[in-house]
A and B are shown apart, each in its own frame.
Chain A
Amino acid sequence: MKIFIDKHIVSLFSVLVFHHLALQVIQADEKGKDTTKTYYLGEVVVTATRLPTNPKNLPSSVEVIRSSNIEKKNGTSLASVLEGRSGLFLKSYGGSGALQTPSIRGMAAEHTLVLVDGQRYNNFQNGQVDWGIYLLDEIERIEIVKGGYSAIYGADALGGVVNIITKHPGATLGLGAELSRGSYEYQRHGVHATYGLGRASMQLSLRRERGRGDYEFYFHDGLTTTKMRRQGADFSILQSHFGMDYSLSPIAQTSLNIRYGDAERGTPGAVVTTASNGQARQSDKDLMTQMDFLWNFNPTVLLHVGSSFHYSDGTYIDPGLIIGGKILESFYTNRLLSFTPHVRFSPLNTFSLIIGAELARGSIISNEVISAVRWQKSLFLSAEKAFEFPHEILYNIILYPSLRYDTFSDVDGDLSPKIGINIGVLREPSVHLRSSYGKNFRVPTFNDLYWKVGGNPNLHPERSVSFDAGIVTDFNFVGLWEAEVSYFNIDTEDRIVWMPGSNSIWSPKNIHHVKSTGIELKAEWRSMSEAFVLGYAHTISNTIKKNMDGPDDQTANKQLPYLPTETAAFNGSLNYGAASLNIHHVFTGFRYITETNDPKFVLPAFQKTDVNLILRIPFEHVIMKTKFEVNNLFNADYQIIASYPMPLRTYVATLEVQY
């Protein structure tokens, strides 16, 4: 069991101890690479404030998914691992390899900022990340902070921020290989190696995942139900990663990470008849190169310079869509170069200040979008100030003020302030109250501004005000209990919506006012030996379009389509010796298909259960791991998006060898 020690109690330790830990604190910075478990001081997250902080001390809710949690879920994509988290709903367009996008707190995919080791991953073209083809490889943990975070990360962080934090390479030789086989010719092959050499440590991994994707599903035409096979949904995903850490001196460290992904897949589209057999295909190539430099001048000053280059290239071809004698073919090439230096001052144990800047250049070349370049210049400032009291009740108050100013070469920028507070109400059992309030914005994407047919260069940013408040507690009672309840409210003005104009040409406008409110509950119980782990998450929310587009607008005050008002998830884990049995059950409430919330057109509620059994067999220096996964155990017949059927029951068996 992890021992939870409040960061601010730790901060009372002697300067000597603090200094001794300095390097480990560096490692737990934005890259959060806390593999040195010896010095691991309780649960520490970095995304919410850019400071390593215990989650219960934060001003708003955070989800932490560690590699051990990832292993206990079915699947390998970002989507499969994060399914069922409170406040997060996944819009899935099919099984493995299909498009999957997130909705955090009722917001859209372009309102979720994805970071890889603290650096922006979303491109400027559509602001979205496909979670279906992002394979998790060598991941230390994933942090999800919910609510508005423009004051920390700038544009697009309206619904939340997902930070994927990579493992550090090991200092000694390590080798591993894995092999999976599953339903519908699903295959996965992977190798990884790690090696230390002097001041350098390196890791290399390569993973390939492929399948026919022709899973079974039910098609309903209203009178009859037909069991069908998905057609044209085959996929092949390659992901490789090279990482290197180099210690320049005892107080300075640099790291390099290069990730390359290549996904080729069929995207057959909606199934509206028993004869539907879309032939569209999509190809995505993605290169993310990051270089980080950390320098701990002294125990109170830390310099972090992050830089990244993200290249993404996509091609979409639909042979079934012949327009003017030509097959529909679209290509997009995005480049995003960013440079983010920041300095952290911690002059007092109860006070930290971060000052930083971000300079980025994004560009697009496409046959659908007018070529464009965007420069971004940003300054940010955030602080953490703790007031400690020698009481058992009301024992501390921590304030988190943040301010960020972003400018863009082609659209308006904004000033984004945020204030957060965390109040330690009770020391034992631990009870904290927390709240945050901030302004956020999303810049129009290149598609919004420069799409050749209907792009609107006069758009301005969407702006939101987000508020949340909650209570978090943990205590020991026949095991360790952790629970939290959060209320949230995100009020977005000038939301960009593509609307039809004259001659039926669609064009985006800053027109909608959307309000998203809800309550999230999550609770977890772990037995003392962690033989039993039970978790539960429940979210009740409404995402309502508030404005009238015209007189008698029947879409005003209605729930946005495809978003459930209720979701719940149950996780159970039974660990005995080398064996681990895990169950993951999700409930998703009904969803409207239409903006008018016509009750005749709804997607019904569904429940889905995934299970897996993991066995670890140590054999001298080698550990053999087997994992048997069953997805959709009870053959739930469901859709997340209308006419995009989801798979019935499927199986995957994996054998992994680690040296």
Chain B
Amino acid sequence: MSIKYLYLLVVIAMLAISSCKKESPIVPPVEIPPTTKAVYVVNEGNFGRSNSTLTVYPPDSNKAYQDVFAAVNGRNLGDVGNDMVLYKDRGYIVVNNSQKIEVIKLSDHTSVGTLVIPGNKSPYKLSILNDSKAYVTNLFDNSVTVFNPLALALTKQRIPVGLNPQGIAAANNKMYVCNSGFGSGSTVSIISTSTDTVVKTLVVGNAPSGIEVDADGDVIVKCDGAYNDFSNPNDDTPGSLVIINVNADTIAAVIPLPLATYGHPGRSSVSKKGYGFVQVNTGILKFSTSTNTIISDAFITTSSYFPYSLAVDDVTERVYVADAKDYVQPGQVFIYDKTGQQIGRFDTGIIPGTIAFKR
């Protein structure tokens, strides 16, 4: 569908050009608008069952292709796929409990190779800096591993960071790592990508887990807030969105998320168009990354399901929200337009946890 659409645009553009030719011999260059060619969903599957899968959804189609990795490569993806990063013509899928990163060609989804992260570190989230450096957090090793994403070769096995690192993002030639501590952490480790050492540890809020870079180049850290004693709801601390200035590596702003209104936040996603989203008790909250304020408590209402993950597509400004249902049956992804209206949905595998876009 997308290729046909692209072809149609080119034909229309050619016709427009040819029709203009007679009137004006000077033709401005034609800009083909970027399109989203595919939406990838990594489904975690159930821990220990090695039933993680990859779903591919061509936008605006009525069909999602399930378990694409196994269909193309003749083997299962592995145990608990936790992240997918698209870089150039490749897709990098972090398979947490299989201790590996599977790399596929985006053109046909064939395997390019498998990078095993040694030492049962439990690789979790990935950020690719450039052709020679990629960084993956190790959930149960309190470290980050560096590898060459093209050669699929380890560069540095361990950069020690804080407790139970989760999200990681690249900005200003540095890597910013959320030290979640599964609730007990409260810092972001900042790694210099030239020396691959931690140059600063910044206190943010309780349980930082998600991290992305906004349109201004700032780093947005989503803190979940701590549960402390799970049997005591009165000792919880609230979540927040913490904005880091990447030049000074200081906190530029904080958007508090009071517990009474929002509960503990779930997943977040930040657009390069000046806004971001985070899942809270009121629904999908929209916030401005230019003013660092809340735009809407419930940009999307999700009362009929518990959103498990979400991602915003910068090109179409559509928001994709995943429902993992009961975690044992295939989930769904709901598609919302930039006004928050649901415009579609598609089926996924079990526990759709990561959504990525091919353009």
Residues of A at under 8 Å CB distance from B?
Answer: 221-223, 269-270, 272-273, 275-278, 320-325, 370, 452-455, 499-505, 549-550, 553-555, 593-596, 598, 600-601, 642-643
**Main SS class of interface, A:** loop
Inter-subunit contact A324/B308 (CB<8 Å): no
Q: Contact check: which of B51, B306, B326 meets A598 at CB < 8 Å?
A: B51
Inter-subunit contact A324/B74 (CB<8 Å): no
CB neighbours of B50 from chain A (8 A): 272, 601, 642-643
How far, in whole Å, are A222 and B79 apart by their CA atoms in the complex?
13
Inter-subunit contact B328/A596 (CB<8 Å): yes
Residues of B at under 8 Å CB distance from A?
Answer: 46, 48-51, 67, 70, 73-76, 78-79, 97-100, 116, 118-120, 140, 142, 163-164, 181-185, 227, 229-231, 263-264, 266, 281, 306, 308, 324-330, 350
Query: A222-B76, A277-B120, A500-B326 given as contacts; is B46 within 8 A of A325 (CB)?
Result: no
Q: Contact check: which of B48, B181, B329 meets A553 at CB < 8 Å?
A: B329
Inter-subunit contact A452/B230 (CB<8 Å): yes
How far, in whole Å, are A275 and B99 apart by their CA atoms in the complex?
8
Q: Contact check: which of A502, A553, A594 meets B49 at CB < 8 Å?
A: A594
CB neighbours of A277 from chain B (8 A): 120
Q: Name which residue of chain B comes closest to A454, CB basis.
A: B230
How far, in whole Å, are A601 and B48 apart by their CA atoms in the complex?
12
Query: A223-B75, A272-B78, A453-B230 given as contacts; is B182 within 8 A of A324 (CB)?
Result: yes
CB neighbours of B74 from chain A (8 A): 222-223
Q: Name which residue of chain A comes closest to B111, CB basis.
A: A223
CB neighbours of B183 from chain A (8 A): 324
CB neighbours of B230 from chain A (8 A): 452-454, 505
CB neighbours of B73 from chain A (8 A): 222
Q: Name which residue of chain B comes closest to A502, CB basis.
A: B306
How far, in whole Å, are A364 and B327 apart by their CA atoms in the complex?
30
Q: Name which residue of chain B comes closest to A643, CB basis.
A: B48
Inter-subunit contact B325/A550 (CB<8 Å): yes
Query: A223-B74, A323-B164, A503-B264 given as contacts; is B328 within 8 A of A272 (CB)?
Result: no
CB neighbours of B98 from chain A (8 A): 272-273
Inter-subunit contact A500/B263 (CB<8 Å): no
Inter-subunit contact B99/A595 (CB<8 Å): no
Inter-subunit contact B328/A595 (CB<8 Å): yes
Q: Name which residue of chain B comes closest to A450, CB basis.
A: B231
Inter-subunit contact A601/B49 (CB<8 Å): yes
CB neighbours of A275 from chain B (8 A): 99, 116, 118-120
How far, in whole Å, are A317 and B100 apart by their CA atoms in the complex?
25
CB neighbours of A324 from chain B (8 A): 163-164, 181-185
Inter-subunit contact A325/B184 (CB<8 Å): yes
The 4 closest A-B pairs by CB, nearest first: A222-B75, A324-B184, A595-B328, A453-B230
Q: Name which residue of chain A comes closest to B181, CB basis.
A: A324
Q: Name which residue of chain B comes closest to A220, CB basis.
A: B75
Q: Name which residue of chain A comes closest to B117, CB basis.
A: A275
CB neighbours of A322 from chain B (8 A): 140, 142, 163-164
CB A322 to nearest CB in B, in angstroms, measures 6
A sample of 14 cross-chain residue pairs with beta-carbon separation below 8 angstroms, ordered by A number, consists of: A221-B75, A223-B75, A273-B98, A275-B116, A320-B140, A323-B181, A323-B182, A452-B229, A500-B324, A503-B264, A549-B325, A549-B326, A594-B46, A642-B50
CB neighbours of A320 from chain B (8 A): 120, 140
How far, in whole Å, are A453 and B118 apart by their CA atoms in the complex?
32
**Main SS class of interface, B:** loop
Inter-subunit contact A642/B140 (CB<8 Å): no
CB neighbours of A593 from chain B (8 A): 49, 51
How far, in whole Å, are A275 and B266 apart by their CA atoms in the complex?
32
CB A225 to nearest CB in B, in angstroms, measures 12
Q: Name which residue of chain B comes closest to A278, CB basis.
A: B120
How far, in whole Å, are A323 and B308 apart by their CA atoms in the complex?
22
How far, in whole Å, are A499 and B325 apart by their CA atoms in the complex?
9
Inter-subunit contact B329/A554 (CB<8 Å): yes
CB B250 to nearest CB in A, in angstroms, measures 25
How far, in whole Å, are A454 and B231 apart by their CA atoms in the complex?
8
Inter-subunit contact B79/A643 (CB<8 Å): yes
How far, in whole Å, are A504 and B182 apart by their CA atoms in the complex?
13
Q: Name which residue of chain A comes closest to B184, CB basis.
A: A324
How far, in whole Å, are A554 and B281 apart by their CA atoms in the complex?
27
CB neighbours of B231 from chain A (8 A): 370, 452-453, 455
CB neighbours of B229 from chain A (8 A): 452
How far, in whole Å, are A107 and B166 apart by their CA atoms in the complex?
38
Inter-subunit contact B266/A600 (CB<8 Å): no
Query: A275-B118, A324-B185 given as contacts; is B48 within 8 A of A600 (CB)?
Result: no
How far, in whole Å, are A222 and B50 apart by their CA atoms in the complex?
11
Q: Name which residue of chain B comes closest to A270, CB basis.
A: B48
How far, in whole Å, are A270 and B79 apart by their CA atoms in the complex?
10
Q: Name which residue of chain A comes closest to B141, CB basis.
A: A322
CB neighbours of A276 from chain B (8 A): 99, 120
CB neighbours of B263 from chain A (8 A): 502-503
Query: A594-B49, A595-B328, A601-B51 given as contacts; is B100 within 8 A of A273 (CB)?
Result: yes
Q: Name which residue of chain B comes closest to A545, CB basis.
A: B328
How far, in whole Å, are A46 and B190 apart by their CA atoms in the complex?
70
How far, in whole Å, are A593 and B74 apart by their CA atoms in the complex?
18
Inter-subunit contact B326/A499 (CB<8 Å): yes
CB neighbours of B119 from chain A (8 A): 275
Q: Name which residue of chain B comes closest to A321, CB basis.
A: B140
How far, in whole Å, are A557 and B78 apart by their CA atoms in the complex?
27
Inter-subunit contact A325/B163 (CB<8 Å): yes
Q: Contacts A223-B75, A320-B120, A452-B229 given; 16 further ones with Cβ under 8 A?
A: A272-B48, A272-B98, A272-B99, A275-B119, A322-B140, A324-B181, A324-B185, A452-B231, A499-B326, A500-B324, A502-B306, A503-B264, A555-B326, A593-B49, A596-B350, A643-B50
CB A220 to nearest CB in B, in angstroms, measures 9
How far, in whole Å, are A505 and B231 apart by their CA atoms in the complex?
12
CB A599 to nearest CB in B, in angstroms, measures 11
How far, in whole Å, are A455 and B232 apart by their CA atoms in the complex?
12
CB neighbours of A600 from chain B (8 A): 67, 70
Q: Name which residue of chain A comes closest to B76, CB basis.
A: A222
How far, in whole Å, are A455 and B229 apart by their CA atoms in the complex?
13
CB neighbours of B67 from chain A (8 A): 600
Q: Name which residue of chain B comes closest to A453, CB basis.
A: B230
How far, in whole Å, are A277 and B281 apart by their CA atoms in the complex?
39
Q: Contact check: which of A269, A504, A555 meets B328 at CB < 8 Å?
A: A555
Q: Name which residue of chain A comes closest to B308, CB basis.
A: A504
CB neighbours of B306 from chain A (8 A): 500-502
CB neighbours of A454 from chain B (8 A): 230
CB B264 to nearest CB in A, in angstroms, measures 5
CB neighbours of A500 from chain B (8 A): 306, 324, 326-327
Inter-subunit contact A594/B350 (CB<8 Å): yes
CB B265 to nearest CB in A, in angstroms, measures 9
How far, in whole Å, are A270 and B51 apart by their CA atoms in the complex?
13
Inter-subunit contact A594/B51 (CB<8 Å): yes
CB neighbours of B116 from chain A (8 A): 273, 275
CB A447 to nearest CB in B, in angstroms, measures 13
Among B49, B74, B266, chain A packs the most CB atoms within 10 A around the CB of B49
How far, in whole Å, are A320 and B49 apart by their CA atoms in the complex?
19
CB B51 to nearest CB in A, in angstroms, measures 5
How far, in whole Å, are A251 and B327 apart by their CA atoms in the complex?
60
CB B99 to nearest CB in A, in angstroms, measures 5
Q: Name which residue of chain A comes closest to B142, CB basis.
A: A322
CB neighbours of A505 from chain B (8 A): 230
CB neighbours of A598 from chain B (8 A): 51
Query: A322-B142, A501-B306, A596-B328 given as contacts; is B120 within 8 A of A642 (CB)?
Result: no
Among A273, A320, A454, chain B packs the most CB atoms within 10 A around the CB of A273
CB neighbours of B76 from chain A (8 A): 222, 601
Inter-subunit contact B330/A596 (CB<8 Å): yes
Q: Contact check: which of B70, B185, B329 meets A595 at CB < 8 Å?
A: B329
CB A416 to nearest CB in B, in angstroms, measures 30
